[in-house]
Structure 1
Amino acid sequence: MKKYDIIIVGTGVGGCFTALHLPEDKNILMVTKSILEESDSFLAQGGICVLRDENDFDSFFEDTMKAGHYKNKKESVETMINNSREIINELIDFGVDFERENGELLYTREGAHAKPRILYHKDITGQEITEKLLVQIKLRKNIEILENTTMIDIITKENSCCGVVLKNQDGIFAVYAKNIVLATGGIGGVYKNSTNFPHLTGDSLAICKKHNVKLKDVSYVQIHPTSLYSKRPGRRFLVSESVRGEGALLYDKNFERFTEELIPRDKLTQKILAQMEKDGTDFVWLDMREIKKHGIDIEKRFPNIIKRCREEGYEPTKECIPVVPAQHYFMGGVEVDSNSQTSMENLYAVGETSCNGVHGANRLASNSLLESLVFGKIAAFHIISKNEENDVEEQNIDLEKYSDLDKIFAEYKEIIFKEIEDDKIQKGAEE
């Protein structure tokens, strides 16, 4: 039997930050379904929110609550905001290179923000943060990493989690730990059009449902208003909200504006879909050329987006680009308390997998990285505080029942969609 002190399933910013705040005398296993560079944390373009100063608290709080349709858990929002500056300082200590001018941090603005409060690194902020955290992870001798390894199930005893069932090239096997942290990302892989990596299929939700672990707000699925339109199959490329924050405009088929570009994401998505239906088109136009009128070099500010547009055959410095809404973020998830602990003992969830109530019914732009980091750190501190002495015992697991993976994950997908539909019906009845 292979045993660890903590097993973390997922290597995005939530999983990494949890691991980095655990003592180095703890034996930690980190598992990722793909390779380290294929978490949705890597894909985050726009930036990460931070409390500018004490005078910004009320505005930051209100922007988050309003974007979430006031369905947010106030205590969680307060926790996130109050911890934001400390988190940013830690990231800088880890080597994260946020944009600066004359040594001072630069802030940008995105949709539904009353003022600029978003730190960024070019247009690949998530990649910059995740890469720097992974550097630190690899330096820790107490952390073992398994790539291309899929979690099939959790192992439980009564209402306590004590391990996970995994599958990789070596076969199907069980590993045990005193504490398990689920940081497996979102559910984009179950959608036809999504900005997420296709292997992120919400497995944790279905597994938790199977073991009677509470889920929350699973019908709160965010559609990003602007992904780059393409006829190619596969993941949709996100055109960051920062593009509109810096001055880009949206046009209909006649190249006329039809909406305010910085309204909340769900509202803007509705406007775009309505315009597409009115025009009989599969997309609307985004004009990045307008950014230059604000004195910004768009090739320097958004190099990755410009590069991808050119790969698709568009020259955004000279012409408009086609954009369309796509599934982007999951505000619901495995329900957790203020310590990131689920309804099952010794089982935690952080990041997009979890639902601590921060985002409400609609996430405010650039709150995702911050939320994952804040509550990942909180999970680590709670695990440390328990000072557990009891060892985990091997359970009698029939690994043969996991041999038909296609059937298992088809069932998991059905569970997820059924939960989303049931939650929609319940919320409709409540309203």
Structure 2
Amino acid sequence: MKIYTDVVIVGTGVAGLFSALHLPSDKKILMITKSDLESSDSFLAQGGICVLRDESDYDSYFEDTMKAGHYENRRESVDIMIRSSRDIINELVGYGVEFEKKDGEFEYTREGAHSKPRILFHEDITGKEITSKLLAQVKKLDNVTIYEYTAMTDIIEEDGRCIGILAENEHGKLTVYAENTILASGGIGGKYKHSTNFPHLTGDALDISKKHGIRLEHLDYVQIHPTTLYSEKPGRRFLISESVRGEGAVLYNKKKERFVDELLPRDVVTKAIHEQMEKDGSEYVWLSMEHIPKEEIMKHFPNIYQHCLEEGYDVTKECIPVVPAQHYFMGGIWVDSDSRTSMDHLYAVGETSCNGVHGANRLASNSLLESMVFAKRAAQKIGRL
């Protein structure tokens, strides 16, 4: 089956959806996703989305992002993301996204390695709130067609430029010819035993890019999240959001003693947990929410509360066992500030791309923001061509 379109977008998480929403309405767009529309990691994001609160917050937000990334971040990209953040939030509110408010004003929370609260949230399912509202908007667009359960198998290269993709689904093989291609296919968690990602996210775009000699960057920059609910069951690990620690949760060893500052960057906390597990001869450490009022837990973390209850733990009364798991990929397909790859007419956005914002370690709640900022820039660049 041959398909001719203006733009093909591989992936339907926030990066793919935000790209589609910002492409010109006269462009014919095909979006494909490897599983169903709800099975993107964007739906799983719990904590929230960062925003520059005001001009006085710029220097500390910039420094927090750089410090967490071990100063290996691309400074230009960090600046673009921070400067664009308020516009992104305003757009999301326009799309119907509801962030927590207090007395009519946005309520901000804080997470690890942030020097102050600057994170907007919707309970503990911020990713679901944002992604579902973006998906609803995209479904209204007459110029967009979406194929579920359709996997990209290759890109089509001609004279050193990308002219589309090859894909397959239950109906057979597809050849999609497109003026521009946007890769928004997510992370690499499916390659790991313990990961917070959906298992079908296996870095397909990276393997295809490598085959075509497309520039990749920092493939060893893999983030391990310090706190996922320990389980002996196989499959995806349930994330215990960093904002739980931001609101006062503490980590204990097997003797119920604190052993680390819970608000240090993720890689530092992860290292401390691994060292403690080795000392204790244990496969997990304990996370306690005893310092968070019960009403705050029920209001801010209802999803975490309910999931832990289903697993046999009442977080309002007892500690839960947590273990680090693969969470996020900071490396990927190298892109410039307009999300262009090293191949003409090929763009990459979201977790599969590497624009350098995150450096060697991502600051909490920068992922949804970064994905949308640079997805919008890709769409705008295509619109200008």
TM-score band by shorter chain is over 0.9
**Alpha-carbon deviation of 1:297?**
1.9
Q: Which runs of 5+ in 2 are unaligned?
A: none
Correspondence 1:290 to 2:284: no
Correspondence 1:63 to 2:59: no
| Alignment correspondent of 1:301 | 300
Residue by residue over 1:273-309, the C-alpha shift from the partner in whole angstroms, topping out at 9 and shown as x without a partner, is 00000000000000012111xx852012101001110
Correspondence 1:212 to 2:233: no
Alpha-carbon distance in 1 for matches of 2:6, 2:325: 39
Q: Tell me which amino acid in the other structure corresponds to 1:177.
A: A
| Alignment correspondent of 1:51 | 52
| Alignment correspondent of 1:141 | 142
Residue by residue over 1:99-137, the C-alpha shift from the partner in whole angstroms, topping out at 9 and shown as x without a partner, is 001110000000000000000000000000000000000
Aligned length: 384
Residue by residue over 1:315-372, the C-alpha shift from the partner in whole angstroms, topping out at 9 and shown as x without a partner, is 1110000000000000000000011000000000000000000000000000000000
1:390-401 to 2 correspondence within 5 Å? none
Correspondence 1:360 to 2:372: no
Alpha-carbon distance in 2 for matches of 1:256, 1:312: 24
Alpha-carbon distance in 2 for matches of 1:81, 1:157: 37
| Alignment correspondent of 2:374 | 375
Q: Tell me which amino acid in the other structure corresponds to 2:336.
A: D
Alpha-carbon distance in 2 for matches of 1:156, 1:119: 41
Q: Tell me which amino acid in the other structure corresponds to 2:307.
A: R
Alpha-carbon distance in 2 for matches of 1:69, 1:357: 12
| Alignment correspondent of 1:34 | 35
Q: Tell me which amino acid in the other structure corresponds to 1:27.
A: K
**Alpha-carbon deviation of 1:2?**
1.4
Alpha-carbon distance in 1 for matches of 2:28, 2:137: 16
Residue by residue over 1:392-427, the C-alpha shift from the partner in whole angstroms, topping out at 9 and shown as x without a partner, is xxxxxxxxxxxxxxxxxxxxxxxxxxxxxxxxxxxx
1:191-210 to 2 correspondence within 5 Å? 191-210=192-211
Secondary structure at the counterpart of residue 55 of structure 1:
helix
- The alignment's TM-score, normalised by the length of structure 1, stands at 0.88
| 8 Å Cα contact 2:313/2:320 also seen in 1 | yes
Which one has the largest radius of gyration? 1
1:111-126 to 2 correspondence within 5 Å? 111-126=112-127
1:234-253 to 2 correspondence within 5 Å? 234-253=235-254
Correspondence 1:327 to 2:321: no
**Alpha-carbon deviation of 1:311?**
1.1
Secondary structure at the counterpart of residue 292 of structure 2:
helix
Alpha-carbon distance in 2 for matches of 1:261, 1:90: 33
Alpha-carbon distance in 2 for matches of 1:139, 1:334: 30
| Alignment correspondent of 2:274 | 273
Q: Tell me which amino acid in the other structure corresponds to 1:372.
A: S
CA-based RMSD of the aligned residues comes to: 0.7
Alpha-carbon distance in 1 for matches of 2:384, 2:295: 48
| 8 Å Cα contact 2:225/2:327 also seen in 1 | yes
Alpha-carbon distance in 1 for matches of 2:222, 2:158: 32
| Alignment correspondent of 1:397 | none
Correspondence 1:263 to 2:273: no
Structure 2 vs 1, CA of residues 311 and 92 (structure 1 numbering), >3 Å: closer, same or farther? same
Q: Which runs of 5+ in 1 are unaligned?
A: 387-431
| Alignment correspondent of 1:165 | 166
Alpha-carbon distance in 2 for matches of 1:181, 1:9: 6
Alpha-carbon distance in 1 for matches of 2:287, 2:149: 37
| 8 Å Cα contact 2:97/2:130 also seen in 1 | yes
Q: Tell me which amino acid in the other structure corresponds to 1:76.
A: S
| Alignment correspondent of 1:311 | 310
Alpha-carbon distance in 2 for matches of 1:334, 1:303: 36
Secondary structure at the counterpart of residue 164 of structure 2:
strand
Alpha-carbon distance in 1 for matches of 2:120, 2:345: 34
Alpha-carbon distance in 2 for matches of 1:297, 1:87: 27
Q: Tell me which amino acid in the other structure corresponds to 1:15.
A: G
Secondary structure at the counterpart of residue 314 of structure 2:
coil
Alpha-carbon distance in 2 for matches of 1:186, 1:38: 13
| Alignment correspondent of 1:408 | none
Alpha-carbon distance in 2 for matches of 1:312, 1:256: 24
Alpha-carbon distance in 1 for matches of 2:218, 2:296: 41
Alpha-carbon distance in 2 for matches of 1:121, 1:173: 39
| Alignment correspondent of 1:400 | none
| 8 Å Cα contact 2:3/2:174 also seen in 1 | no
Alpha-carbon distance in 2 for matches of 1:225, 1:140: 39
Alpha-carbon distance in 2 for matches of 1:99, 1:26: 35
**Alpha-carbon deviation of 1:23?**
1.4
Structure with the higher fraction of residues in helix conformation: 1
| Alignment correspondent of 1:91 | 92
Alpha-carbon distance in 1 for matches of 2:191, 2:289: 31
Secondary structure at the counterpart of residue 290 of structure 1:
coil
